[in-house]
Amino acid sequence: MGGASSSNRVGETSHCFENQTVESSNSSFFTEEELNKLKSDYETGGVEKVKTVLQQKVTELDKTELNVAVTGETGAGKSSFINAMRGLQPNDEGAAKVDSIETTMEPTGYKHPNLPNVWFWDLPGIGTKKFPANKYLKEMKFKKYDFFIIISHCRFTENDTKLAKEIKSLGKNLYFVRSKIDNDLNPKRWGGGIFNEVEEMMKIRKDCVSKLQEAGIQTPSVFLISNFDLNQYDFSLLNKALEGCLPRIKKSVYILALPNLNSDIVEKKRKELKKRVWMLATLSGVIGAVPLPGVSLAGDIGILIGGIVDFRQCLGLNDSELERLAKRAGKSVDDLKAVIRTPLVGEEITPDVINRLAWGVAAVTISAIELALDIIPVVGSIFGAGSSFLMTYKLLNAALNDLAENAQRVVEVAFGSKNDPNQTSVQ
């Protein structure tokens, strides 16, 4: 590629923060050992030497698998839960088959529609004739899954507790989900009378927890949800618990795999994607420069285009995701698209689109202190104003913020609420 040599680009640095001690949230992608290696490589060879480490980390982000096991007895709502987590309706292409009888005869994986390395596994119901409890525990290959969700639509059974103890013995995290809570709280079941929904949920949750404790499950995590309205009840609490159990990169992957249900989820996604901006920008800075016509811009066009396409997909702004969201929310696609006000959605991302974006952010200045707070300090340098690094950083950051703002508007139109609703707390 064209542009100055990497040694010259390193020499262009106008500020250096080698002694900076500010902790960056971006470091959540790196282990302590990796951070020390980055610092050592940078001190001995500058930005050029950390290129390989960053390229490996970007590849790792793209290829990290997440495997979620969903199990429970027949009719508990496993398939509906898997579909809801992927933002799909039962009749959508690739949806898990929903039936009142056992339809899963072996572990069946369902790929996320946007993230091909995220899989939700529908495990056969434990305690069926084909899979009695003692056989089930041996054949499901539990070690491959990152965590387990045991679903019941009423009370958790003896088979559920046997399964939970086996999962615990493997050192795996598991969570109990009481599905179909909307049925329990339906006023028709109360004869049309008035009842306190929060108090009733507390009673149901307390009963589930006490029964599991009596069966030998200590400190069980129980969440009450409706597969048909994930913006209600305990779904937000469940998400927070699942995020908390995952290591660095897998936590990021899980957040990006969530369906866009509210503004809080969109904001979480924006923060996760922003952690990747500085790595892509640094790679651009050391790989080379590709000037764009009409703009004094140095940047790797492939990195820019790839980054923006990934941002758009993860934020649910590609056509297929907008169609699924409209269907799930009972709105028309036109209603959702009407609030999108960016050229980065609805057309192919080309060098010409990047060129127009560059004009829009050309006057944006980013202070050294701001970058130091946003970039892992051990990388150290901030490039000169004309460098590939700085322009790529500015463009990707502006594109991400633009796409996130539009995703927020789309979610507000779809569900009529900006924020995640108040949830009852787990007792």
Quote the number of domains for the chain: 2
Quick one: pLDDT at residue 178?
92
Identity of the amino acid at 222: V
Which residue from 190, 179, 175 is spatially nearest to 228, judged by alpha carbons? 179
Q: Mark whether 129 and 246 lie in a shared domain.
A: yes
Q: Mark whether 94 and 19 lie in a shared domain.
A: no
Phi, psi of 150 (to 5 degrees): -100, 120
pTM: 0.81
Q: Mark whether 47 and 69 lie in a shared domain.
A: no
Q: Mark whether 161 and 128 lie in a shared domain.
A: yes
Q: List, in order, residues 6 or more apart from 418 with CB less than 8 Å away.
A: 262, 263, 408, 411, 412
Q: Give the whole-angstrom CA distance, residue 262 versus residue 329.
A: 12
In the listed set 205, 238, 257, which residue is the last one of a domain according to the structure? Answer: 257
In the listed set 257, 281, 311, which residue is the last one of a domain according to the structure? Answer: 257
Quick one: pLDDT at residue 19?
32
**367 lies in which domain range?**
6-62+260-415
Element at 71 (helix H, strand E): strand 66-72
Quick one: pLDDT at residue 359?
65
Q: List, in order, residues 6 or more apart from 356 with CB less than 8 Å away.
A: 343
Residue 378 lies in a domain: yes
Q: Mark whether 265 and 300 lie in a shared domain.
A: yes
In the listed set 257, 285, 308, which residue is the last one of a domain according to the structure? Answer: 257
Mean pLDDT by 10 residues, the chain (427 residues): 36 31 46 72 72 76 90 84 90 81 74 92 76 70 88 86 85 90 72 75 91 90 90 90 88 92 93 86 64 50 88 93 91 94 87 76 55 48 55 87 95 76 41
Q: How many CB atoms lie within 10 A of CB 402?
A: 20
DSSP sequence for 193-243: ----HHHHHHHHHHHHHHHHHHTT--S--EEE--TT-TTSTTHHHHHHHHH
Q: Which residues on neighbouring strands pair with residue 224, listed in sequence order? A: 178
CATH number for the domain including 221?
Answer: 3.40.50.300
Q: Mark whether 89 and 168 lie in a shared domain.
A: yes
Phi, psi of 8 (to 5 degrees): -65, -40
DSSP sequence for 94-152: TPPPP-SS---SS-EEEE-SS-TTEEEEEPPPTTSSSS-HHHHHHHS-GGG-SEEEEEE
Residue 50 lies in a domain: yes
Quick one: pLDDT at residue 4?
37
Q: Are 123 and 174 in contact (CB under 8 A)?
A: no
Residue 362 lies in a domain: yes
Q: Give the whole-angstrom CA distance, residue 152 versus residue 125.
A: 11
Q: Mark whether 237 and 345 lie in a shared domain.
A: no
Distances from the Cα of 200 to the Cα of 204, 207, 223, 307, 419, angstroms: 6, 11, 14, 47, 24
In the chain, what are the helix, strand and coil shares in percent, each to the nearest 5?
50, 10, 40
Quick one: pLDDT at residue 15?
31
Q: Give the whole-angstrom CA distance, residue 128 versus residue 355.
A: 60
Cβ neighbourhood burial of 197 (10 Å; 0-12, 13-18, 19+): middle
Residue 427 lies in a domain: no
Q: List, in order, residues 6 or more apart from 48 with CB less than 8 Å away.
A: 6, 7, 10, 286
Residue 189 has which token pair? 């079941």
Quick one: pLDDT at residue 176?
95
Q: Mark whether 73 and 188 lie in a shared domain.
A: yes
